Each structure stands twice: as C-alpha cells, then as structure tokens.
Amino acid sequence: MKSKPLRRATSVAMAALLAAVAAAPSDAGAASVHPAAANAAYATEAAADSECATRGVGEAASVSQGAGTIANPPSPSSIAPPVEPPRYERALPTAVVLIDAGHGGIDGGAHYGDVLEKDINLRVAKRLYLVLRSQGVPAVLNRTGDYALSDDNRWHPSRSRHQRDLSQRRGLTDEIDVRLLVSLHVNWSRNPSASGPLVLHQDEGRSALLAAFLQDALNREYGSRKLPKVGRPYYLLNLVKRPSVIVELGFLSSPDDRAKLTDPRWQQRLAEAVAAGIRQYVWTAG
C-alpha cells in the first residue's frame, strides 16, 4: 500500500502529465509529451511502487498471533535446539569390571599379628586394576586407599557401620555401568592346614562360569584342585544384580599362604591369575 505523501505526489505528477499531453501540438496523430514532465511522473510513480513493494514484503513477514503481532519470526534453522538437563550418569565411569577391595579403614578384616587383610586386598586390587587396563579391559576400583566405604554412605538408614559398608559396595554396582563385580578377600580358618584359593559365586549361571575360570587360574598358581562354591549367605552375592564373585585369595591363617599373600611378587602373580580368569570369561560370554 502506498503512503499518503507518495499517493499525493503521484496524483500531482499524473495530472501534470495529462495536462502536458492535452496542451502539446499533435504530430502525425501522435501525442507528444515534454521529456522533463514525463520523466518526473515516471520517477514519482516508480518511487511509489518501490515503497509499496518494500512495505508489502515487511507486512507479509509479520505473523499475527491472537491480539499481538510478531515481526520477522526466526527461520526454523536459526532456532537453537532445546538444551537437555545435565545427567549425573555422564560423570560416572563405565567399565567391564568393578574391583571390590574388601574391608578398609576401621574394618581391618582378618589379621595375623600386624598383617591385615584390608592391606593385602588393596595391594592385589591395585595390581589387578593395572593388569586389566594394560590388557584393554576397562576396570574401576571402589577403594584406592585405607578408608571404609561406610564413610561415603549417607543414604542407608541403618546404624550398623558394617551394613552401610556392604550397601555402599552394592550401590556402586547400580550407579556405575559395569558388567561384573569381583570382590577380593583373604580367608581365615581355625584349622592351620586349611589353605589355597576359593571362589564363591551366585546361584546363577554367568556367575558360576566366571567363578570356574577364576578358580582354575588360581589353582594353577597354588598347585591346588579346589572347586568354586555357591556363596548363599553373602550379602553382595545375594543383592548385586550383575554376575558377581568373591575371591578368597588364600588363608592368612596358613603359614604357607601367608608368606605368599604378603610377598609383592606373589601379589602380582595373584593379580595376573585373576585377570586371566576375567579375560577368559569376557571372551567366552561376550
């Protein structure tokens, strides 16, 4: 739509053009118009048409919504996608194996003099972690120092420190995306002749398969012929929803086993044996 000033200018210019046509002498029946008048009229009309076109585009770009008007709405390509809320899972690691270093902190586990189970568990666990990572098997340690996992548990209502410790270990298997739980421990018996490794498993096929591979690898180190067993009374084996095992690396009450368990070279051999059993399971179970 032309603006009022341009409409008036156009009307005046056209009137001048018509008057010029009427007043000019005719030549061979053809009307003659003074060039200046014609140019002025055409220029005014062109300016009016240009503004009309510009206003038409602007009005066409306006979108009416209810009582208001949104001018020049953004194109779909310029609209930023919605931002997803942060997900805490992205901050947590993912791995094939969660290595549970048994006991820790105030909970020393089994002991013989100043030799504590918690220290042996952690040393072997750290070595196992390094061996698995070097062989391309992602692993996570739930304890890297001498502290009790019950100290991190602020959600379990129980007053029992032991119960909070166990529930924290189980809770990590729910929070961290892992396929297996391997819990490392050291055994104890009143019978000094009891010796050798023992693997306890869930009453479930995948856990039993993992236990069989681990027991076989450890038997080769010790020269023993033990078989894995179902660990029915154990909290972790009953409540963890992934294939899980408890690996008793040897008897602290046995002089021969104790010498092995406290020897750094044997700790490395035990870690490599457990890693071999885990790899064999991963290759077999897929």
Q: How far apart are CA 33 and CA 24, in angstroms?
A: 7
Go through the chain and tell me how many residues it has. Answer: 286
In this predicted structure, what is the pLDDT of residue 199? 98
Tokens coding 20: 């010029």
Residue ranges per structural domain of the chain:
4-60, 93-285
Q: What's the pLDDT band for 93 if we cut at 50, 70, 90?
A: confident
Rounded CA gap, 175 and 134, in Å?
25
pLDDT digits (tens, 9 = 90+) for 35-61: 444 444 444 454 444 444 444 444 444
**Which pairs with CB-CB distance under 8 Å and at least 24 residues apart come from 125-128?**
125/99, 125/100, 125/101, 125/184, 126/101, 127/267, 127/268, 127/270, 127/271, 127/272, 128/99, 128/182, 128/184, 128/271, 128/274, 128/275
pLDDT digits over 240-257, tens only? 899 999 999 999 999 999
pLDDT score, position 176: 83
User: Which pLDDT band, with edges at 50, 70 and 90, does 161 fall under?
Assistant: low
pTM of the model: 0.66
Instruction: Quick: pLDDT tens for 190-225.
Output: 998 999 999 999 999 999 999 999 999 999 999 999
What is the predicted pLDDT for the residue at 286? 75
Furthest-apart CA pair in the chain: how many Å? 139
Query: What is the reported pLDDT for 54?
Result: 45
| CATH class entry, domain 93-285 | alpha beta
What pLDDT shows up at residue 239? 87
